[in-house]
Amino acid sequence: MNYIKNNYINWIILLLGITILGLGNSLIVIANCGSDSITIFGQGVANTLSIKYGYGYIVANLFFFIIVLIFHRKKIGIGTVASAFLTGLLINLYMEILPFSTPDNIILKYTISLSGIVVVAIGVALYMYSNTGLGPFEGVVDLLTTKTKLRFWIIKICFDLILFISGILLGGTFGPVSVLSVFTLGPLIDLFRFLLKKTNIIKEHKEENKLETEDLLS
């Protein structure tokens, strides 16, 4: 009980991040201008298993969760489980309750799609900042980042490219925004993580803020 009480800010940020992440993914799917790589991969899994996209997202999360569990267990926490299961369910919920469907206007479609990418980046950055455990996808990226000593956004781009190609082969839908998301999501997440750390809402990040600032200025 004391652990939960002392870390309530972390839990609030985690839930906020996952809620925002689910919304962003739903906007991308609804816009139908091409999805981000994780969405494409989830669609491919859903298409292969003939299930709803949200459930396909959960299955994909479980696959990468096993990898993180075996090779990067120290990064597993309540945030890992919450991200793996709640995000997919929230996507299904948003798809049902959002008061609009795919618009006919091409400008509006791309506006919704690009907004979805930014919202996804904010959601991922928030739950990573919550320091409650990495989601399965981000856990794999963090594992590769640790092993290669490369920046998060570089590994994220490479990982997204692999998911992008795999998702297409499994039957996921893609478009111009898909290619854009592969090369922008990683840098956007890194940017929002940096800005969140600068707020110092979670005090444990104080020393990391200093290192991150020095890294960006170098």
Q: For each of the chain's 218 residues, which pLDDT tens digit applies?
A: 444 444 788 889 999 999 999 999 888 888 888 878 987 898 899 999 998 877 888 888 889 989 998 998 888 888 888 877 788 788 888 888 887 788 888 899 999 989 999 999 999 999 899 989 888 888 999 999 999 999 989 999 999 999 999 999 998 888 888 899 999 999 999 999 999 998 888 765 444 444 343 443 34
d(CA 19, CA 50): 25
Which amino acid, 178?
Answer: S
Alpha carbon distance 113, 132 (integer Å): 29
Separation of CA 3 from chain center:
26
Counting runs of H as helices and runs of E as strands, what totals does the chain give?
Answer: 10, 0
For residues 136 and 183, give the distance between their C-alpha atoms in angstroms, rounded to a whole number: 20
